[in-house]
Amino acid sequence: FKSILVTSRTYEGQKPGTSGLRKAVKVFQQEHYTQNFIQCILTAIGPKLKGCTLVVGGDGRFYAKEAIDIIIKIAAANGVRKLLIGQNGILSTPAVSCIIRKYKLNGGIILTASHNPGGPENDFGIKFNTENGGPAPDTVTNTIYNLTKKIKNYSIIPNLECNISEIGIRTFEVHGSEFIIEIIDSVNDYLELMKSIFDFQKLKNLLSSNIKPFRVLINSMHGVTGPYVKRIFIDELNAPLNSVVNTTPLVDFGGGHPDPNLTYAADLVQTLKNENYDFGAAFDGDGDRNMILGAKAFFVTPSDSIAILAENLNSIPYFQKSAVKGLARSMPTAASIDKVATSLNLKLFEVPTGWKYFGNLMDAGLLSLCGEESFGTGSDHIREKDGIWAVLAWLSIIAVNSKSIEQICFDHWLKYGRHYFVRYDYENCESEPSTKMMKVLEEKITNSDFIGQKFESDNEVFEVKLADNFQYVDPIDKSIAKNQGLRIIFTNGARLIFRLSGTGSSGATIRMYVESYESSPTKINLDAQLVLQPLIQIGLEISKLQSYIKRTEPTVIT
């Protein structure tokens, strides 16, 4: 096979956001658009590109097959030696991270727009992960972006075709050298990793006991986790067949929004309310997010989920083998885990939103468990958040202490107090008023007279203790991430945070994060929405958000 050089044109806006490049499918379908981005990812690998091995896969959404075909043709033309590709293009984001690390690859390309809807009228996305298995850090994504702004041509082998539906190795001769494509089973490597972390026999006893099995309902939302869930929960752990639903990955997720929260996983919530299950879980399109529910759809806030896992890591063999290093959360995530860190005498890191910021800490051996309020939970077993891992971790705790999910949460609040948390998302707003709102708010809160100001709502008074635009200095490489969200911290520990999302495919999404802390045992079992109402009102008042974007209600509340 011989490569040709195709003359291209540049496209604006090929800037990877919080987690990869996300745009409408139609944008990716434009002539040269996807090709440009793939070429720039490869060029950004630098001297290691020639002869390297990469893994490729994704959540199976619309346009993934076309994108994989483009990747094969461009990778071969650019001197890549080998591609590992998930069968039919299916690999979850955590599985890609696992495979990069296990086989010491140079990186991986993930075809997904995560929790964004899929199909011809919806979104597609491309994430690039580096050799530690984690999302490319800012330095790499900036290099890629800069390359996209000046790309003139790309190398491609137009007639190099490969059937990705059959497992096996195929070799091609490209410019006198071997180019290898290995189609791999989507689940094997990930399953093996999970078996090395958890006690599968114990979990099997829990789920398939003939005396009193623990009844779980796992909803893959027609995303990538289906095949993983079937293998792990049905084949390996012998859970009854009705324990899993929506396990066939579909190009459009069956028309749903593959985002595991109370709004988009409403069918799971409904079934749990009506039927006798002890536990429910759902994942997003690419399998890195998770939602945990107890019987009758009792909701575990993601921020509490990490804190509870942190407290109980000794139930998991992986953490029995090596001592727990530090803990971490993203800045907007509620501080429940901070309390556990203090009590266990572990260091707690607060990083900007996005999993890439945890990677350096893990690589340096400083971090074992971390999470985000956005339904992301994970550990240093890989360098991505991991939905199925989170469920297995919860089940491991239950296998040891035999309490209900609700009881586990309640006992946790009793011991540490409760961090009430809610996030208001205003999706798809106009960009200009949204950035204006953020700019004016930043000026207001960073003005020296803002500290000490008191705000009152519903007879509750909140006094500002600190307010800034969050900035993070990576303790390992000293790189600085600026503009990571406006935060207002009150003297009673309550917090209000405003951020513009970095994962939308068009327009702007404003997120308002609201958190307060209650330690009194009589106040820990209340409705978060009600408890946080006064603070929500103050947030809306300080930011004047509603008048800037002309909305009275958020699109989603999580």
- Which parts of this chain interact with Co ion (CB under 5 A)? 114, 284, 286, 288
For residue 107, what are the β-bridge partners?
A: 54
Compute the least distance from the CB of residue 53 to Co ion, in Å: 24
Compute the least distance from the CB of residue 499 to Co ion, in Å: 17
Query: Taking CB under 6 A as the rule, does residue 92 contact ligand VG1?
Result: no
Write down the residue that tokens 């996030």 correspond to: 423
Q: Which is nearer to ligand VG1, 374 or 434 (CB)?
A: 374
- C-beta of residue 266 within 8 angstroms of C-beta of residue 272: no
Compute the least distance from the CB of residue 349 to ligand VG1, in Å: 15
Q: In whole angstroms, give the CA distance from residue 300 to residue 145.
A: 38
Q: In whole angstroms, give the CA distance from residue 3 to residue 160.
A: 9
E strands, 380-506, are: 418-429, 454-457, 460-469, 472-473, 480-481, 486-490, 495-500
431 in active site: no
Stretch 458-497: interaction string toward ligand VG1, x if CB under 6 A:
----------------------------------------
Structure tokens of 517?
A: 């802390």
Q: Which is nearer to ligand VG1, 227 or 376 (CB)?
A: 376
Question: Segment contacting ligand VG1 (CB under 6 A): 61-69, 192-200, 350-358, 515-523?
Answer: 350-358
Secondary element (H or E) of residue 508: strand 508-518
Among 123, 138, 199, 288, binds ligand VG1 (CB under 6 A): 288
Torsion of CA 469, 475, 478, 484, to 10 degrees: -20
3-state secondary structure of 261: coil
Q: Report which residue's Cβ sits closest to ligand VG1.
A: 114
Question: Segment contacting ligand VG1 (CB under 6 A): 35-43, 371-379, 484-492, 547-555?
Answer: 371-379
Q: Which positions from 15 through 54 interact with ligand VG1, judged by CB under 6 A?
A: 18-19
Q: Which positions from 106 through 145 interact with ligand VG1, judged by CB under 6 A?
A: 114-115
Query: Taking CB under 6 A as the rule, does residue 289 contact ligand VG1?
Result: yes
Q: Which whole-number Å values give the CA distances from 138 to 48, 113, 208, in the listed order?
A: 19, 18, 45
Q: Which is nearer to Co ion, 284 or 518 (CB)?
A: 284
Which DSSP symbol is given to 374?
T
Q: Which of 3, 114, 303, 516 is catalytic?
A: 114
Stretch 297-336: interaction string toward ligand VG1, x if CB under 6 A:
---------------------------------x------
The sheet carrying 556-557 orders its strands as 454-457, 460-469, 486-490, 495-500, 508-518, 418-429, 556-557
Which residues are designated catalytic?
114
What are the residues binding ligand VG1 (CB under 6 A)?
18-19, 114-115, 284, 288-289, 330, 353-355, 372, 374, 376, 501-503, 511
